[in-house]
Structures are given as structure tokens and as C-alpha cells.
Chains A and B, each alone.
Chain A
Amino acid sequence: GQNIDQPTEMTATEGAIVQINCTYQTSGFNGLFWYQQHAGEAPTFLSYNVLDGLEEKGRFSSFLSRSKGYSYLLLKELQMKDSASYLCAVRNSGAGSYQLTFGKGTKLSVIP
């Protein structure tokens, strides 16, 4: 089965840096995604990692260690609009499905 853990809530200050961790246990690993979801809205794609290392994309970076079953999302220069839930999701390639298993999400509150 799949198991994905991430903190339930985090608070950070505008302009600061925050790191959201995600640990997972899965089989047939075919990549890890981070999505952003504002309350009541659709999740939107942020980043993808399939090999170990850091992927940088503007203010957002994501890191993956497959051997440790660990990823983090790093948000720099936080803005108020970054207040949202951040969902870690693992893709499995069993039977050609490419389905995603999501963690419960980390609700980030950015305060002035």
C-alpha cells in the first residue's frame, strides 16, 4: 500500500523561507508531484521530481531522495498569496495507470 505523510499545518512570515516535508512509502515509484490548492479551488501543479536532487522553479524548489522516501518543497520570499494547502503526491506506474496518491496536505498560513 501507499503511505504519505506531511505536516498538517505550518505558519511562516511574509518574506521568509519555508520548507514543507513529505515522506512516503510506496511501490512502483514513478515520480513525486507537489500541488498547490487554495481553499475550495482546484489543485494546481507546482513541481515534479523523479530523480534524486533539487529542481528549482522561481521561488519554488523541490527536492527528492528516493532512497529515503523523502521530499521537500521550499518556498522563498513568501507572499500572502502563498497561503494555501500544499499537497505531496506520489505517482505509481503499476499496470500503466499512472495514478497519483496524495498526502492529506499541509495548510500554510503566511502572516505579515
Chain B
Amino acid sequence: DSGVTQTPKHLITATGQRVTLRCSPRSGDLSVYWYQQSLDQGLQFLIQYYNGEERAKGNILERFSAQQFPDLHSELNLSSLELGDSALYFCASSGRGQGAYNEQFFGPGTRLTVL
């Protein structure tokens, strides 16, 4: 158990809909990262938040947005969903003093299926 929690574990929805994925980082970690993993792609970095502020952006679509709240939990919002958005979405966290190398600890993921 990495200490990172994600909900829900599974999500099935229809094209055009909007969903929200939630992540709670390890205690004390200030950074939260979101990744998308589909069958034919590796882990694709989407976005990073540090202590409530956006720190870095990767290959995140305009239909996707995220935020980190004062209690450090984060939400990833996916809208106007398309079939191609079906993937595993991972959240990871890291922070000063958490882990010898400031490595990222991954949550169990949310499996999104768009029908």
C-alpha cells in the first residue's frame, strides 16, 4: 500500500459525459501528479500540482482539467468524453522527506471505460 488513495476504482460512462476522479496523496506529500495509461501507450504525464498550484503540464487535453485543494487532495475532471479516453488514470504523490529519492508513489488507479 503506497498510501495514495484514488476513487472510484472503476468508472463506466457514455461518450459526451463528464466525470471526476479523486486522489488523496500520502500524508505530508505536497506534489500530486496525474497520468493516463492506455493499452498502446506508456504512462503519459498529464499534469502536476504542488501545494495547490499548477507546477507542470504534459499531454493534457483541453477537455481535461485538474485542481488541488487546500487539504492537498486533487481532482481530475474529464469532459466531453470520447471512446479514446478509456484508460487507467493514475495519481502519484511525492514530497520533501517522503522517500529517499523524492520518488513518486502511485495510487491504485481509476479504470475509466467510455462506451
Does A associate with B in a complex? yes
B45 touches A42 (CB 8 A): no
With contacts A42-B107, A43-B90, A44-B2 known, is A101 near B55, CB below 8 A?
A: no
Tell me whether A99 and B90 are in contact in the complex, defined as CB-CB below 8 angstroms, given that A87-B43, A104-B42 are known contacts: no
**Would you give the 0/1 interface string for A69-110, flagging 1 where the beta carbon is closer than 8 Å to chain B?**
000000000000000000101000011111111111100000
- Closest B-chain residue to A30, C-beta based? B102
Q: Which residues of the partner chain A approach B101 to less than 8 Å between Cβ atoms? A: 31, 33, 48, 50
Residues of B within 8 A of A35 (CB): 106
**B-contact 0/1 string along A19-46, CB 8 Å cutoff:** 0000000000001010100001111110
Does B58 sit within 8 A of A, measured CB to CB? yes
Interface residues of A (CB under 8 A from B): 31, 33, 35, 40-45, 48, 50, 87, 89, 94-105
Binding site for A on B (CB under 8 A): 2, 4, 31, 33, 35, 41-45, 48, 50, 55-56, 58, 88, 90, 94, 99-109, 111
26 A-B residue pairings within 8 Å (CB atoms): A31-B101, A33-B103, A40-B88, A42-B4, A42-B90, A43-B43, A45-B103, A48-B101, A48-B103, A87-B42, A87-B43, A89-B43, A96-B55, A97-B48, A97-B56, A98-B94, A98-B102, A99-B33, A99-B58, A100-B33, A101-B45, A102-B35, A102-B44, A103-B42, A104-B42, A105-B43
